[in-house]
Structure 1
Amino acid sequence: MNMPRPYRMRARAESAQHTKRRILEAAQGLLRERLSMDVRLEDVAERAGVAVQTVLRHFGTRELLLRDALAGEQARTTAQRAAAPGDIDASIAALVDHYEEVGDLVVRRLAEEDRDPELARRLTMGREEHRRWVHRQFGPQLDDRLVDALVVVCDVYAWKLLRRDLGRGRGDVETVMRRTVRSLLRPD
């Protein structure tokens, strides 16, 4: 009987995992550039260097691929915005790092959320995560009105207003956000 050798099976499994990772990274890259409704399987396959059938074999459907890709992007965002709770300087620096990378894309997505129900759902999740981030970074003892104010100060639209509309440099954006957060957190 002709049995496959274990090292060949392991090599095949590793190759399959590598291919799946490439496909997922291709989808994530496209999601950073486009709305999810504009990401086609053909584009993902081309970017990953595989056939559409290979994409479907690994993920089943376009929806499942995008679900996994968006989950990966959310995990990336969470890691990117990580800082020690209570450390205002590090929190704002991490937040501005994130906005420098994806802020323009997020603003475009926010402007188009009424066109795509899945995008609207994802943006709602993003807003909820942003509020949790504010709670985590600036203290769980905050009352709702103060949390609302901190959410606004740390929002992508605040970054856009300062960075894009007013033309401020990155350092100025961080300074304005830090000062505003500190003034809001100061006890009366």
Structure 2
Amino acid sequence: MITLSEERLSLEIVLADVAERAGVSVQTVLRHFGSRNELFEHAQARQVEAVRAERATPVGDVAAAVDTIVTFYDRIGNWSLRLQAQEHNDALTRRTIERGRRIHRDWVEEVFAPQLADRADREELVDLLVIATDVLTWKILRRDTGLDHASTCKRMRRLVTAVLQEPAHRTDLPERS
């Protein structure tokens, strides 16, 4: 299922395609999963565990975190971007993207926990770290700008470090609406 979603839009995947890849009948797929939606849910659950394992990073290590996330996006970034392009047209894809966003935010909070501890601006920092390590940031650096892996990591590390830096003096300006 995941392999098929890497090849075509989720809306284009039919049970016959899944059954053919698995070497079974459509009826066998339905007997095992119950429906196309249940098959997608099962595939997502397996993918979530694989993603968490692949993105395991030493807590507090900015360089390792950035290298981990860039390596991860180098593998699945284009697929993730294609999924995001479908999220407004397909409820299953939308749930996948929403789950991915929660996983990424949780990863940021876990990996940068030491740097976020006791910070009054913690929620703001988490938002900014999510952006600094997001697949769209990777896309701009890696795909749009054409940077190599090392240069992408260097720039993302600079973003993360800038976000985490303690302000020498903070002038709280009112936010624009």
TM-score bracket, normalised by the shorter chain, equals 0.7 to 0.9
Show structure 2 runs of 5+ residues with no match. Answer: 168-177
Picking from 104, 113, 129, the partner of 2:87 is: 113
Q: Deviations over 1:20-45 (max 9, x none)?
A: xxxxxxx1211233333222111111
What's the counterpart of residue 99 of structure 1? 73
1:80/1:98 contact within 8 Å kept: yes
Instruction: Specify the code of the residue in structure 1 equivalent to 2:150.
Output: G
Indicate whether 1:45 and 2:6 are aligned.
no
Picking from 151, 157, 163, the partner of 1:184 is: 163
Between 75-84 and 157-166, report the one with greater CA deviation. Answer: 75-84
2:88 is paired with a residue whose SS is helix
Shift of 1:124: 1.6
Distance in 1 (CA, whole Å) between partners of 2:148 and 2:61 is 22
2:59 is paired with a residue whose SS is coil
1:92/1:178 contact within 8 Å kept: yes
Show structure 1 runs of 5+ residues with no match. Answer: 1-26
2:37/2:92 contact within 8 Å kept: no
Picking from 147, 152, 157, the partner of 2:126 is: 147
1:1-188 superposed matches below 5 A: 27-139=1-113, 140-141=116-117, 142=119, 143-188=122-167
Between 34-43 and 79-88, report the one with greater CA deviation. Answer: 34-43
Number of aligned positions between the proteins: 162
Shift of 1:183: 2.3
Higher RCO (CA < 8 A, seq sep 6+)? 2
Q: Deviations over 1:71-90 (max 9, x none)?
A: 11111111111111111121
Task: Please tell me whether Structure 1 or Structure 2 has the larger radius of gyration of its CA atoms.
Answer: 1
- The change in CA–CA distance for 1:57 and 1:47 in structure 2 (over 3 A counts) is same
Shift of 1:121: 2.1
2:40/2:92 contact within 8 Å kept: no
Distance in 2 (CA, whole Å) between partners of 1:60 and 1:53 is 9
Distance in 1 (CA, whole Å) between partners of 2:77 and 2:112 is 21
Shift of 1:164: 0.6
2:4/2:13 contact within 8 Å kept: yes
Q: Where do 4+ consecutive residues of structure 1 move more than 4 Å?
A: none
1:121 is paired with a residue whose SS is helix
What's the counterpart of residue 8 of structure 1? none
